[in-house]
Amino acid sequence: MPSALNAPPANPAGPLRGRFGRTLLAVAAFALPALSLGAPSGYSWGALLLVMAGLSAWGLARPSQTSCRALAAFAVATGIMAVVWFLRHDFDAAHPWQPAAFEHAAKYLVALLAIPALCRFAPPLPSILWGCWVGAWLAGGIAAWQVFVLGLPRAHGFTNAIPFGNIALLLAAWSAIGWPLARSRAQRLALVLAVAMGMFASLASGSRGGWVIAPALLAIVWLTQPKRAAGPEPGAAQPTLSWRTTARPRTLAGLALILGLLLSTQWAQITTRLGEIDQEVAAYFERGEADTSIGQRLAHWQLAWQLGLEKPWLGWGKAGYEAEKNRRVAAGDAPTILLDFGNAHHEWLDLWAKGGLVGVAALAAFYGVPGWLYWRARRRAAAQLRNGPDPRGTVCWLAASCGLVTVVGFLGFGLTHKLLTYNASNIVYLFMNLLWLGVIAHTATPRRIEGGCRQDTI
């Protein structure tokens, strides 16, 4: 038996690096949503910190009770999507490769560098949700400044109005899901203001695509509110969960009042933007007018669908799509307005034309894999909570609900605009999914507990 005197000296580098990585992860978890819309390229700072945390955790052993299968599944879907983005740029061999072709794919691959930290350390859910609250406050403040002080017709923050409004809507939804973390009256007031400010930013942006999916997000948020363990019903073997929310009626009334006041300030723009939809749709189908916001979208969708049918497997590629679009416009087979845009204003149809079925399948996995992971985690957490109050089950439930809102939101946003064109949208989708999945990965229960939120099976 070796003597203790002969044992190798303890290496403090591992614990020290572990403390640094854990602290960096907590800061990044707050900064990513908090700065996503509140500063120029603010989303990049949180993403950079997450990547740094991942690099610092490289080589450190992860806790034995933590499985990274959910993160690994999302990593595979992200890697496949990165390859599709690259092939979409330069699949046409007649065009030389350029550094810009690597940019989109590189973001996706760099995001995967954060995974070691998320496997090794648990992202603190309070830090993430507090970041969402701060991010919603900043988004609403910037929107109010641009609309009321600068007199801009649409708030856009430091990016385009569409991703600004859509991400602000997600910040509001994530903030609302974080209601159980609001323990004091001051924290509940802060949360209500965060939800109101995020929704106001969405309204002030004039992003109708976000308004279309907002009811679905609202339904998820409402059904996500924490469930109280009620007494056992007659004949029931265990306590059941009621679907009542813990929000008091006066809190909901206060939120409704604040939202009503904010909505009234944008009512004229909202009614105008919504009224334009019927007029522009009718003008396109009756007179072929494509020089409108809706008209050019419909023309883009028609062209993208036709091009996809001609090359259904791998599509035209980006260069081929542009060349064929220019040719059809010159021949009078497509309206001239299409030359002003580089995409089809529809996530799925754009990839259908440029990447074919391969691109569409990759996008389906990019959304479907995390969506399925969140849905399954919610079901397991609900089963776990039926056994009684469980902090780990609650954390799992909240993180999975926030993740589900993320996927459903981006699915809806992409139906009227190609949101993944923008830096902000890509970074927020990639890294917020990593955070939600990271939380789920650390809310394990022993495998023997039936129906628990077990990350080894998520």
Q: What is the pLDDT of residue 172?
A: 95
> Is residue 335 in a domain?
no
Does the pLDDT of residue 352 top 90, yes or no?
yes
Domain that holds residue 387: 15-58+67-229+248-273+349-441
**Mean pLDDT over residues 63-91, rounded?**
83
> Is residue 359 in a domain?
yes
**Mean pLDDT over residues 423-431, rounded?**
95
Tokens of 276: 């334009």
Q: What is the pLDDT of residue 100?
A: 59
> Is residue 263 in a domain?
yes
For residue 229, give the DSSP letter.
Answer: B
Q: What are the start-end ranges of the H helices in 206-292?
A: 208-224, 249-265, 267-287
Q: What is the pLDDT of residue 53?
A: 92
Say what the pTM is. 0.86
Tokens of 161: 């109005």
Phi, psi dihedral angles at 241 (to 5 degrees): -110, 130
The domain total for the chain is: 1
> Is residue 54 in a domain?
yes
Helix or strand run (H / E) with residue 325: helix 317-330
Does the pLDDT of residue 284 top 60, yes or no?
yes
> Is residue 131 in a domain?
yes
Q: 308-341 pLDDT, tens per residue? A: 999 999 888 888 888 898 998 888 888 888 888 8
CB 406 within 8 A of CB 433: yes
Q: If pLDDT is split at 50, 70 and 90, which confidence band does 65 have?
A: low
Does the pLDDT of residue 390 top 90, yes or no?
no
Does the pLDDT of residue 451 top 80, yes or no?
no
Mean pLDDT check: name the lowest of 67-76, 101-110, 205-214, 387-396: 387-396
**Mean pLDDT over residues 76-105, rounded?**
73
The amino acid occupying position 90 is D
Of 241 and 265, the structure prediction assigns the larger pLDDT to 265
Q: What are the start-end ranges of the H helices in 288-316?
A: 293-310
> Is residue 73 in a domain?
yes
Mean pLDDT check: name the lowest of 8-17, 127-136, 173-182, 238-247: 238-247
Does the pLDDT of residue 144 top 60, yes or no?
yes
> Is residue 267 in a domain?
yes
pLDDT > 70: percent of the chain: 74
SS3 helix, strand, coil % of the chain, rounded to 5? 70, 0, 30
> Is residue 344 in a domain?
no
